[in-house]
Amino acid sequence: MLAPHFLKTGDGLHFRNAALSIHVEGTGSRIKKFSVNGRQLDMPLLPADIQGQACVSVEMT
């Protein structure tokens, strides 16, 4: 996954039953850290049963 330099944040993006607020830090083609609601996940995948408001943070390297 390559994060474009112009994509830094996104609010109100919908995924299944969730409204996502996404913050991308850094640039590059590799994900260094991926967290949902402050909880760091081992894999950069959203849970299929996610609901409500969710804050997604991605740190690229």
Residue 13 has what pLDDT? 87
Residue 1 has what pLDDT? 46
The structure's pTM equals 0.80
For 6: left if phi > 0, alpha if psi spans -120 to 50, otherwise beta; the answer is alpha
Burial of 56 (0-12, 13-18, 19+ CB in 10 A): buried
For the domain covering 9-60, report its CATH number.
Answer: 2.60.420.10
Residue-wise pLDDT tens for the chain (61 aa)?
444 554 567 788 888 999 999 999 988 889 999 999 999 999 999 988 999 999 999 999 9
Specify the 3-state DSSP secondary structure of 34. Answer: strand
Nearest 5°: the CA angle 12, 7, 30 is 115
How much is the CA Rg of the chain, to the nearest whole Å? Answer: 11
Chain centroid offset of residue 55 CA: 7
